[in-house]
Amino acid sequence: EEENTNQNQNTNSSGNGSGSEENADEVEIRATVKREDNQAEIRTKVNGRELEWELATTNQTTILLSISAKTGLTTAEIEAVWEYRIED
């Protein structure tokens, strides 16, 4: 697990809009699948904790389970908020 301290903040979350609690329930999940490389690049930000990792798979279920294991979120919670992209 690698922690990323990138300062870019996407306010595209479904938080309550209170600036003082911005990171309290912030959830951002991005999975980019590269078919050509049979690789998935995953970035998550959950409650201010950022993670970034790669998986040697393009299987959506495997990707969801990996995100769930690392973040503690359910697959339904992930699917409700994630940005899932497939690149050739």
Is residue 75 within 8 Å of residue 65, measured between CB atoms? yes
CA 41 to chain centre: 10
Which residues of the chain register pLDDT less than 70?
1-24
Percent of the chain with pLDDT over 90: 69
Q: What is the pLDDT of residue 24?
A: 55
Q: What share of the chain is helix, strand, coil (3-state, %, to 5)?
A: 30, 35, 40
Distances (CA, A) of 34 to 40, 48, 53, 88: 6, 27, 14, 6
